[in-house]
């Protein structure tokens, strides 16, 4: 127990346990009382720190996407060609299931809560921005003749689906490692399931190399590593979390996924 620590802020701990509960039970079935009890805190303390339950979920979500954006930045810095970047994004999305489990599941389970304007527009912007990163990769690949798709937006949703749906079946102690899964998914979607005579072995190497690049990224494997302070570089978070887009229209012209 924190034992009324000397200014020991319980914020992070509350956020962590709350995310775990949401990941395991879902938002509606997560009780603040249970979270408080697990931390030997009073329910009132949680309210003191965050105000209400919804804010907790929002903070989990914002932090999760900050980590994903930092990851995307890393990918763009260390990998140049669109195909490698796409593989890396697939791997990153799948690896989050293992390395950022609680937040990943919490966000994916409760994803639908961000549709009806329940949560801040900032969260919506994060989702749109993240989707655009992958769409841009696909579009660049098509322009360079390295990829082929008549609708990058739609294909991005396909990629998000095959990765994000993993939360329903992926288990860290399963037979396949995340790297195995990423390699298979990337190969399937890049080379296709229909075999062709002139299948180039270079593709397998490219896939493995891209995965390895991200896997060896600094600040990995430490599961409770909150990641670098996500410097506001290329794909940094849009605007500011505190500013409530005034008069922002609720219409969502382009579907987003992650």
Partner DNA sequence: TGTTGCTGACCGTACGAGCGGTCAGTTAAG
Partner DNA sequence: CTTAACTGACCGCTCGTACGGTCAGCAACA
Chain contacts with DNA (rule: CB under 7 A): 2, 4-10, 30-34, 36, 40-45, 47-49, 51-54
CA separation for the pair 102, 16 (Å, rounded):
8
Question: Which partner from the list a copy of itself, DNA, none does 128 bind, CB cut-off 5 to 8 Å by kind?
Answer: none
Nearest residue to 69 via CA among 241, 249, 184, 212: 241
Question: Which partner from the list DNA, a copy of itself, none does 66 bind, CB cut-off 5 to 8 Å by kind?
Answer: none
CA separation for the pair 127, 139 (Å, rounded):
18
Considering only 3, 145, 201, 218, the residue that binds a copy of itself (CB under 8 A) is 145
Q: How many other CB atoms are there within 10 angstroms of residue 208's CB atom?
A: 16
Considering only 62, 128, 162, 217, the residue that binds a copy of itself (CB under 8 A) is 162
Question: Which partner from the list DNA, a copy of itself, none does 7 bind, CB cut-off 5 to 8 Å by kind?
Answer: DNA
Measured over all CA atoms, what is the biggest interatomic distance in the chain, rounded to whole angstroms? 68
Least Å distance, CB 88 to DNA, is: 37
Nearest residue to 72 via CA among 84, 59, 58, 89: 89
CA separation for the pair 55, 61 (Å, rounded):
10
84 part of the interface to a copy of itself, by CB under 8 A:
no
Give me 130's structure tokens.
């993240």
Give the chain's length: 258
Least Å distance, CB 113 to DNA, is: 14
- Closer Cβ to a copy of itself, 70 or 182, answer by number: 182
Binding positions for a copy of itself, rule: CB under 8 A: 26, 28-29, 83, 86, 109, 111-112, 138, 141, 145-151, 154-155, 157-166, 168-171, 174, 176, 181, 184-185, 188-198, 203, 255-257
């Amino acid at each position: 127990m924190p034992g009324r620590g000397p200014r020991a802020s319980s914020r992070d701990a509350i956020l962590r346990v709350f995310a775990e509960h949401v990941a395991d039970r879902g938002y509606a079935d997560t009780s603040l009382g249970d979270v408080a009890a697990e931390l030997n805190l009073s329910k009132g303390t949680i309210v003191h720190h965050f105000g209400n339950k919804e804010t907790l979920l929002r903070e989990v979500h914002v932090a999760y996407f900050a980590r994903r954006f930092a990851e995307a930045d890393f990918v763009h810095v260390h990998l140049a060609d669109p195909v490698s970047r796409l593989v890396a994004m697939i791997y990153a999305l799948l690896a989050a299931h293992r390395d950022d489990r609680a937040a990943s599941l919490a966000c994916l389970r409760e994803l639908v809560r961000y549709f009806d304007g329940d949560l801040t527009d900032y969260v919506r912007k994060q989702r749109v921005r993240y989707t655009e990163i992958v769409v841009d990769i696909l579009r660049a690949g098509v322009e360079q003749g390295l990829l082929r798709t008549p609708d990058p937006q739609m294909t991005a949703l396909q990629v998000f689906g095959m990765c994000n749906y993993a939360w329903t079946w992926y288990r860290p102690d399963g037979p396949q490692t995340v790297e195995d899964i990423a390699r298979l998914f990337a190969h399937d979607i890049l080379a296709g399931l229909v075999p062709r005579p002139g299948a180039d072995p270079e593709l397998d190497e490219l896939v493995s190399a891209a995965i390895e690049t991200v896997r060896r990224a600094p600040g990995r494997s430490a599961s409770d590593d909150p990641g670098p302070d996500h410097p506001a570089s290329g794909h940094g978070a849009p605007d500011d979390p505190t500013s409530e887009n005034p008069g922002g229209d609720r219409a969502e012209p382009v579907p987003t996924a992650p």
